[in-house]
Amino acid sequence: MMDQKQPNSFSRLESLIGFDSLEKIKQKRVLILGIGGVGGYVAEALVRSGISKIVIVDYDIVDITNINRQIIALNSTLGKKKVDVLEQRLKDINPELEIKTFDLFFDSKTKDKILDNNLDFIIDCCDSLESKKLIIKEALIRKIDIISSMGTANKLDPSLLEIVDIRKTYNDPLARKIRKFIKDEKINQKIMVLSSKEVPIKNGKILGSNSFVPSSAGLLIASYVIRKIIK
């Protein structure tokens, strides 16, 4: 009788995609810029999917208004640095995880420190328009795969989320600004983004949010990255 392999954290995943694909995933180093409503779910889904080398960037702390949608936001984590909370959570999932954290704002002064880490993939989930523009330009210059999350605020229907080239987005105010940037910069390459076709709900000055649209966006991005790695 043949010996059966001992089950491990990734046994079910290996059964789905095979040993070689799992090993390929484990060798990739991924950067996640912004670990809030979307980025936190991206990070957790990737680590549960075998990504073993990860860089996370966020200069914020966990706030009480994050509790309704962010995977790291609990009453017990209020006031703590987001990168510290997520690092602890991800290492609890995979103690062998190679993780680097940056409690920094991504801009022209910090970009080299953050990006000079032998990256295979960049996932932009930050809120800053200027940071989004900069990281897209840097990814193209450095020839690193990138996907950027557009707006998930003021939306209620996760079924209207999709991953498309930025030029095919609509009903997304943030994507409209990035489209203009792409046109002004004469960027010809495809820029893949996560965007929603849903018409935003007008609700005043404060951006509304929920638990299911940002999380669904994060899971879709994680799926896209894993499938692209093992294609």
Q: How far apart are CA 123 and CA 135, in angstroms?
A: 9
Domains parsed from the chain with CATH numbers: 15-229 (3.40.50.720)
Q: At what angle do helices 82-93 and 39-48 cross, to 10 degrees?
A: 20
Q: How far apart are CA 128 and CA 11, in angstroms?
A: 38
Q: How far apart are CA 46 and CA 118, in angstroms?
A: 18
Decide if pLDDT at 2 tops 60.
no
Instruction: For residue 11, count other CB atoms closer than 10 A to its CB.
Output: 12
Decide if pLDDT at 1 tops 70.
no
- Residue 4 is predicted with a pLDDT of 63
Residue at token pair 């984590």: 77
Q: By C-alpha distance, which of 37, 56, 212 is closest to 127? A: 37
> What integer best gives the mean pLDDT of the chain?
96
What is the signed CA dihedral for 206, 210, 213, 218, rounded to 10 degrees?
90
| Burial of 97 from C-beta contacts in 10 A (0-12 / 13-18 / 19+) | middle
Report pLDDT digits (tens) over 139-176: 999 999 999 999 999 999 999 999 999 999 999 999 99
- Residue 6 is predicted with a pLDDT of 84
Report pLDDT digits (tens) over 36-76: 999 999 999 999 999 999 999 999 999 999 999 999 999 99
Report pLDDT digits (tens) over 107-125: 999 999 999 999 999 999 9
- Residue 205 is predicted with a pLDDT of 78
Decide if pLDDT at 203 tops 70.
yes
Q: How far apart are CA 179 and CA 196, in angstroms?
A: 14
| Three-class secondary structure of residue 155 per DSSP | coil
